[in-house]
Amino acid sequence: MAVIRDVMPAFELVQPTSIADAQRALERQGENGWVLAGGMDSFDWLKDRIKRPAVVVDLSGVAELKGVRTTADGIEIGAMTTLTEIVQHPVIREKYKLLADAAELVASPQIRNQGTLGGNLSQDARCWYYRAGWPCYRAGGNICYADTPEGRNREHAILYADRCVAVNPSDTAPALIALDAKFVMRTPKGERVVDAEDYFIGPQIDITRLHILQPGDLLTAIRIPSTWAGTQFYFEKVRDRNVWDFPLLNVASAMAVSSDSIDRIRIAVNGAAARPLRLKGVEDAVRGKPANAATGEMAGKLAVQGAVPLQFNAYKIPLMRNLVKRAIGSVGEAT
Amino acid sequence: MNPLQWATDPWGKIVPIHIAWFLIWVAAIAGLLFVIVHAIYVRYFAKRRQFEPDHAPVDPAKIPAHVPRHSPVARAFHWIMAASMFTLLFTAFLPKVGVQFDWVTYHWIAGAVLTVSVLFHIFHASFFLDFWSIWPDKIDIRDARRRLQRSMGKTAPPPERFAKYPLENKLYHAAIMAAGLSAMVTGVFMMSRVRTVFFPRNPYLFSDMTWGMMYVLHGLAGVGLIALITVHVYFGIRPEKRPITKSMIFGWMSRDFYLEEHDPARWPVEARALPSRSQGTQPRS
């Protein structure tokens, strides 16, 4: 665990009041700029003096980035909306409960009061070698300390590892992938909208980031279409301390079932790789099949194909298999 | 502006981790500057080349119309090496300048292809080709001095025609060999840090300092190759060099070009018809 030094290094604080101003400030600063949302990830980095941005752009004064709005085809959630607001929002609870369930399992009530949806989606990896400031691949170095014979890698990746074996720690990311959400970004070239799963990237694409945001880009909103509103949802998170922890693994699924068979399904897991994984192979395999334990069993086995455990995280393979199995089997049995 | 990036390892030692990436631009700009300066020099300042008359002129009729220069095996090696080298450079440096894609697998596969092809080339050149023909000899050194003196307006006898390879070719080969071998040897060790089909991962094969130096050498060789390849492509498309480039495609050069540029005594193509020389150079096949 890194030593908290309490006193952050000096930086220039910019407090814009509009998205345009915030994006311009970030664009101006480039690599030297740092986005401060709820601060739940940022203050660790800054107090540990591991990240030393010259300029911090505090988004807390940008009203446009906050709140949940109903649109013609679903809802739009501002990136600065707190997790507590999401958990308590009546429309989300009624139609997109998957997201409320995921948000409710993030950390502790205090953190959910302060932490934002955008921050939860864009937070950095929790690998302790990386967080401690060691010069690993993710920090721009040439080694992964976790992927060594003695490395403490119980929490790390079992799928799609490429030099770095850190995982994405977000709980809301798989829920939004399952809900087919779109992420809205403001970039120097204008607005850009991407599918939720395309917002995240693995180390094979960029080993120093978990998402596609480049310096000067800003995540502004998350749009959830009504396509999956009111379908059958399943979210489960497994963590070491049930009151307050990052996921060892989590699973989120949205499923439309009719006549005992699965008509439509989207399912995603997180904590298995450096990006949340949409299990497209599983979706294709279970579509048209009954949502029961046998289908869940088959889906679970399919989900972990290609998994490569590290020294201390082989348990994640049966864990992921069972989570996927339950995500499909439990929904059907509860129907 | 530090050309290397340094970090503190877990044991508190300051170690290099790799080159600073601005060197990519330094190498690219250096390569382009060379191209521009050379093109201007040749266009506006270079004097017409003159060669020393042949000591024992050969009968052109005894030279084949198509002078064989590169065997099919040698050409295959060259183009396989070129393809793997371009793949290596693009996969190594495009992600560093903002073009993001899944590069590591392509990079190590191309590196493996290059390594195998270079090992084959060393074997082939050692036992089936004239190994020494690509290394500078005494005449090359002497002629280089003459050419330099003449280019500066001093009085010096004209140089002889070239052997199979002009001195510039030989020096380029030496430079690319040094850079290529450095990148390859370090690259083979670096494969033990990623998951490949060749070795089990072993990131602790060397100390952090040794690894750091290895990454630095790999990086320096890599950026050096940016400049070297830029220059190579430039010469490959220059009008006066095109017969040489064509010979790397078709395997031969024309009799006229051969007689104009090359000394049949230093690079005999029809040994029985050519006179031997007694200037201390080795006979060549």
**Residue B113 clears pLDDT 90, i.e. is over it:** yes
**Contact between residue A133 and residue A139 where contact means Cβ atoms under 8 Å apart:** yes
The complex scores an ipTM of 0.82
Residue B49 domain-assigned (yes or no): no
Give the range among A91-100, B65-74, B170-179, B199-208 with minimum mean pLDDT. B199-208
Tell me how many domains chain B contains: 1
Q: A204 and B203 in contact by Cβ < 8 A?
A: no
Q: A141 and B7 in contact by Cβ < 8 A?
A: yes
How far apart (Å, rounded) are the C-alpha atoms in residues B178 and A303? 47
**Contact between residue A325 and residue A300 where contact means Cβ atoms under 8 Å apart:** yes
Starting at the earlier edge strand, list the strands of the sheet with A261-270: A232-238, A249-258, A261-270, A277-278
Residue B283 domain-assigned (yes or no): no
Nearest to A135 among B7, B100, B204 (CB): B7
Average pLDDT over residues B76-82: 96
3-state secondary structure B128-176: CCCHHHHCCCHHHHHHHHHHHHHHCCCCCCCCCCECCCCHHHHHHHHHH
**Contact between residue A217 and residue A27 where contact means Cβ atoms under 8 Å apart:** no
**Residue B277 clears pLDDT 50, i.e. is over it:** no
Which residues of A sit within 8 Å Cβ distance of B?
A: 134-135, 139-145, 147-149, 161-163, 201, 204-206, 308
Nearest to B100 among A134, A141, A205 (CB): A205
Q: How far is A139 from chain B (nearest CA, A)?
A: 10
Residue B81 domain-assigned (yes or no): yes
Residue B51 domain-assigned (yes or no): no
CATH of the domain at B82: 1.20.950.20
Beta partners for residue A70, in sequence order: A75
The distance from CA B279 to its chain's CA centroid, rounded to whole angstroms, is 28
CATH of the domain at A73: 3.30.465.10
Residue B245 domain-assigned (yes or no): yes
Q: B100 and A206 in contact by Cβ < 8 A?
A: yes
Q: A204 and B105 in contact by Cβ < 8 A?
A: yes
How far apart (Å, rounded) are the C-alpha atoms in residues A279 and B122? 48
**Residue B280 clears pLDDT 50, i.e. is over it:** no
The string over A146-169, giving b where at least 16 C-beta atoms fall within 10 Å of a residue's C-beta and e elsewhere, is: bbbeebbbebbbbbbbbbbbbbbb
Q: Coil, strand or helix: which one is B27?
A: helix
Residue B31 domain-assigned (yes or no): yes
> Of residues B171 and B279, which shows the higher confidence score?
B171
Tell me how many domains chain A contains: 1
Within 8 A by CB and 6+ apart from A192, the residues are A184, A185, A186, A217
Residues of chain A in contact with residue B203, where contact means CB-CB under 8 angstroms, are: 143-144, 147-148
User: Mean pLDDT per 10-residue run, chain A (335 residues)?
Assistant: 71 97 96 96 93 96 97 97 98 98 97 98 97 94 91 96 96 98 97 98 95 96 97 97 94 93 97 98 97 96 97 97 94 53
Residue from B9, B94, B197 to probe the interface with A (highest A Cβ count within 10 Å)? B9
Give the Å distances, CA to CA, from B241 to B41, B172, B246. Answer: 16, 14, 9
Nearest to A145 by CA among A310, A316, A314: A310
Q: Torsion-angle region of residue B65: left (phi > 0), alpha (psi -120 to 50) or beta?
A: alpha
Residues of chain A in contact with residue B200, where contact means CB-CB under 8 angstroms, are: none
How far apart (Å, rounded) are the C-alpha atoms in residues B273 and B165? 21
Nearest to B258 by CA among B62, B38, B47: B62
pLDDT classification of B194: cutoffs 50, 70, 90: confident
Q: How far is B10 from chain A (nearest CA, A)?
A: 6
Nearest to B101 among A161, A205, A308 (CB): A205
* pLDDT digit string, tens, across residues B129-161: 989 999 999 999 999 999 999 888 888 999 999
Residue B239 domain-assigned (yes or no): yes
Q: B8 and A135 in contact by Cβ < 8 A?
A: yes
- What local confidence, expressed as pLDDT, does residue B219 receive? 97
Q: How far is A198 from chain B (nearest CA, A)?
A: 13
Nearest to B215 among A142, A148, A149 (CB): A142
**Contact between residue A211 and residue A56 where contact means Cβ atoms under 8 Å apart:** no
- What local confidence, expressed as pLDDT, does residue A245 receive? 95
Which domain covers residue B200, as residue numbers? 4-38+65-273
CA Rg value for chain B: 22
**Chains A, B: CB pairs < 8 Å:** 49
How far apart (Å, rounded) are the C-alpha atoms in residues A210 and A222? 17
Residues of chain B in contact with residue A158, where contact means CB-CB under 8 angstroms, are: none
How far apart (Å, rounded) are the C-alpha atoms in residues A192 and A217? 10
Residue B56 domain-assigned (yes or no): no
**Residue B37 clears pLDDT 70, i.e. is over it:** yes
Here the tokens at position B215 are: 């990454």
**Residue B261 clears pLDDT 60, i.e. is over it:** yes
How far apart (Å, rounded) are the C-alpha atoms in residues B228 and B168? 12
Nearest to B166 by CA among B284, B40, B50, B266: B266
Q: Torsion-angle region of residue A134: left (phi > 0), alpha (psi -120 to 50) or beta?
A: beta
Q: Coil, strand or helix: which one is A263?
A: strand
Which domain covers residue A303, as residue numbers? 1-335
Q: A135 and B211 in contact by Cβ < 8 A?
A: no
Average pLDDT over residues B41-70: 87
Nearest to B203 among A143, A162, A205 (CB): A143
Nearest to B104 among A135, A140, A162 (CB): A162
Q: The whole model's pTM is what?
A: 0.86
